[in-house]
Amino acid sequence: MEHDLKHKSPYGTKILLALIVLAVLFVVSFLMGRYPVQPAELGGMLLDTILDKLHLDSFFHMEPFWDKNTESIFFNVRLPRILLACMVGCCISTSGAAYQGVFQNPMAAPDILGASSGAAFGAALAILTGCTSWGITVLAFVFSLLTVCLVMLVSRYANGDKVLGLILGGIIISSLFSSGTSYIKLVADPNDELPKITYWLMGSLTEAKMEQVLFALIPMLIGIIPLILLRWRINILTLGDEEARSMGVDTRKVRALVIICSTLITAASVSVSGMIGWVGLVVPHFARRLIGNNYMRLLPMTMIVGAAFLLAVDDISRNLMAKEIPLGILTSLVGAPFFIYLITRKEARL
């Protein structure tokens, strides 16, 4: 019993510290930007909103001491953007950790089944046909799911190992949709449509709206809740199929469910943020360094670290220079050196 308490204490402490870091980043992110929001104004607007939602404003009336522009920036620009950064970072990181577990491959990433390529094609097609930002999000999500459905259909008829067939199917279908995206870029208007497509492909939360937050929230919750509940089974899958079956785990069903849930949250994330690479590869490995390989602990830590990481990157993106830097560029600056470290270290293990 004493040993268990000693073992649990560092985990609880690390999770608490990670949550504190995320909370601090969350608050500081509101204060940063070209239109600064003062801490007192931030606290006042948050308190006023809470009182209004709880219908307590008649008992505790607060006279606004902030102007309408500040309120508009807070609710229409900063809040949806910060929420989306946390949600996307959390989901892409969780998806990466889950893929690495079920495929038993430390190099597995969320776009392994072509979800990102499908989303890119859908977004490019939406921009080419003149859709609104809402239409771009919906088409990116639909084509992302469609791509993965095609990959899973191809893998069903593949000979040999089904997991290998799934990965190879992902490479083939991704290549087809990438070619489609390249063709759309070729025929797009170079003065209007092409820059929009290129910018979307580099990943950004510039167009974040509360409608997008609500649109992405439902599939994210549908996907991430089962992953949290299945994390002990992912632990068993990392031991190998034979070992897992000997412990009474239906490896095919569990693997399929984890893949479907991971794909769903990846599709939802990419549809609202564009192509943001490396997060799903880097964050799970960083979380492993902090907490170990046990998925019961790894998945919650990955979720928190992923949300904090992308929120910090987005803060840098919108404050470092006069013009925003696309998120994909910044995450690549972190991810590429880390990838080199992964492939050159002496032993790669989950």
Which CATH class for the 2-32+67-344 domain?
Answer: mainly alpha
pLDDT greater than 50 at residue 350:
no
Q: In this predicted structure, which of 29-33, 51-55, 68-72, 89-93 has the lowest mean pLDDT?
A: 51-55
Residue with tokens 């709880």: 54
pLDDT greater than 50 at residue 3:
no
In the chain, what are the domain boundaries? 2-32+67-344
Q: What angle do CA 276, 277, 279 make, to 5 degrees?
A: 95
Nearest Cα neighbor of 144 from 299, 262, 279, 311 is: 262
User: What is the structure's pLDDT at 5?
Assistant: 42
Kindly write down the DSSP assignment for every residue of 261-291, as one continuous string.
Answer: HHHHHHHHHHHHH----SHHHHHHHHHHHHH
pLDDT in tens, 232-290: 899 988 888 788 888 888 888 999 999 999 999 999 999 999 999 889 988 999 899 89
